[in-house]
Amino acid sequence: MIVLIADDFEEHRLLMRQVAERMGHHVLEAKDGREAVEAAARERPDLILLDLALPVFDGLTVARRVREGVRGRGPFIVAITAYDTYGFREAAIEAGCDEYTAKPTDADELQNLLTRFLG
């Protein structure tokens, strides 16, 4: 399975990459929203782990653009963000995210998300 990690902080991408690769998934990375949209269109990942506070395009814009550009069932999108205040969960789901979880995340939580969405 292909996992796209879209986060502007290298240390966050590193943790997510390590967990996903340990579980046998192929990992792609994006440092900003434009890279994430382009990688999603080009590589057709099975799952996107999406920070909402990305430069260039924010995560909500990324989710909307990915959903608009997909024919058939698109990737699962999980918003993983420090924005854990009222309204952000609803906005993420409305934009096309399948799940929303707050940072900081740990390896166990990431493994559970990957198992839940990718089996």
Total domains, the chain: 1
CATH code of residue 69: 3.40.50.2300
Rounded to the nearest 5°, which phi and psi values hold at 15? -60, -50
pLDDT in tens, 16-66: 999 999 999 999 999 999 999 999 999 999 999 999 999 999 999 999 999
- Domain assignment of residue 21, given as a range: 2-118
> How many DSSP H helices and E strands does the chain contain?
5, 5
- Give the per-residue pLDDT at 57: 96
Residue 14's pLDDT band (cuts 50, 70, 90)? very high
Global pTM reads: 0.94
Mean pLDDT of the 12-16 span: 95
